[in-house]
Amino acid sequence: MTISTRAVWAAYGAVTTAIVVTYARVDPAELYHVSGTGLPGGLSRALVYLNFPVALVAVPLGLLAAGRIGTRVAQIAGIAAATLCAVVVVPGVVDQGDLDARWVNVLPVLGVAIALALEVLAPTQHIRVGRGTIAAWIALGLVSLVWITADLGFHATFGVFRAGEPWHGSASVHLGHHHGLDGAMLAATALALLAASRRLLSRVYASLMLGYGLVNCIQDLWTEQVMKRDWTTHEIPSALNPTLNGSWLAILLVAAVTMALVETRDGARRAPVAAP
DSSP letters for 122-144: SPP-EEE--HHHHHHHHHHHHHT
d(Cα 43, Cα 109) in Å, to the nearest integer?
A: 12
> Could you give the number of structural domains in the chain?
2
| Last residue within a domain, chosen from 93, 128, 163 | 128
Tell me: the pLDDT tens digits for 113-137?
Answer: 999 999 999 999 999 999 999 999 9
Whether 139 and 231 map to the same domain: the answer is yes
| Last residue within a domain, chosen from 128, 163, 198 | 128
Half-sphere exposure of 171 (CA within 13 A, CB side): 20
Tell me how far the alpha carbon of residue 7 is from its chain's centroid. 14
d(Cα 138, Cα 116) in Å, to the nearest integer?
A: 26
84 domain residue, yes or no: yes
142 domain residue, yes or no: yes
Whether 121 and 207 map to the same domain: the answer is no
Q: Place 196 in a pLDDT band, splitting at 50, 70 and 90.
A: confident
Whether 116 and 181 map to the same domain: the answer is no
Whether 134 and 115 map to the same domain: the answer is no
3 domain residue, yes or no: yes
Rg (CA), the chain: 19
Q: So what's the pLDDT on residue 18?
A: 98
Q: So what's the pLDDT on residue 248?
A: 98
202 domain residue, yes or no: yes
Q: Is the pLDDT of residue 62 over 90?
A: yes
d(Cα 48, Cα 30) in Å, to the nearest integer?
A: 18
Q: So what's the pLDDT on residue 271?
A: 58
Between residues 266 and 15, the one the model is more confident about: 15
Whether 217 and 206 map to the same domain: the answer is yes
Whether 12 and 93 map to the same domain: the answer is yes
Per-residue CA distances from 127 to 6, 154, 258, 261 (Å): 10, 34, 18, 19
| Last residue within a domain, chosen from 107, 128, 149 | 128
Cβ-contact 6, 148 below 8 angstroms? no
Per-residue CA distances from 161 to 49, 174, 214, 231 (Å): 24, 13, 19, 14
Whether 100 and 167 map to the same domain: the answer is no
Q: Place 263 in a pLDDT band, splitting at 50, 70 and 90.
A: confident
Whether 76 and 135 map to the same domain: the answer is no
Residue whose C-alpha is closest to residue 154's, from 18, 14, 11: 18
- Range of 100-104, 165-169, 191-195 with top mean pLDDT: 100-104
276 domain residue, yes or no: no
Whether 142 and 176 map to the same domain: the answer is yes
Mean pLDDT of 77-84: 98
Domain range holding 43?
1-128
Q: So what's the pLDDT on residue 44?
A: 98
Residue whose C-alpha is closest to residue 80's, from 62, 57, 94, 103: 62
Whether 162 and 32 map to the same domain: the answer is no
3-class SS at 176? coil
pTM, two decimal places: 0.95
